[in-house]
Amino acid sequence: METGKIFGMIFEVIGGLGLFMLGMKYMSDGLQTIAGKMLVMT
């Protein structure tokens, strides 16, 4: 494989993991917000 292709694959993996972690953070924040409102209502 060419060095450029390897670096491209590495950057794609790192970028994908970064987007995944960002999505998990937003989902966690959203679920905490919803759970907090549900606990206050009961």
Dist CA 14 CA 27 (whole Å) = 20
| pLDDT at residue 21, rounded to an integer | 98
> What letter represents residue 38's amino acid?
M
pLDDT at 31 exceeding the cut of 80: yes
* Confidence band for 24, pLDDT divided at 50, 70 and 90: very high
2-21 pLDDT, tens digit per residue, is 989 999 999 999 999 999 99
| Mean pLDDT on 16-27 | 97
Q: What CA–CA distances, in Å, run from 33 to 16, 24, 37?
A: 26, 14, 6
Element (H, E) at 24: helix 3-41
pLDDT above 60 for 42: no
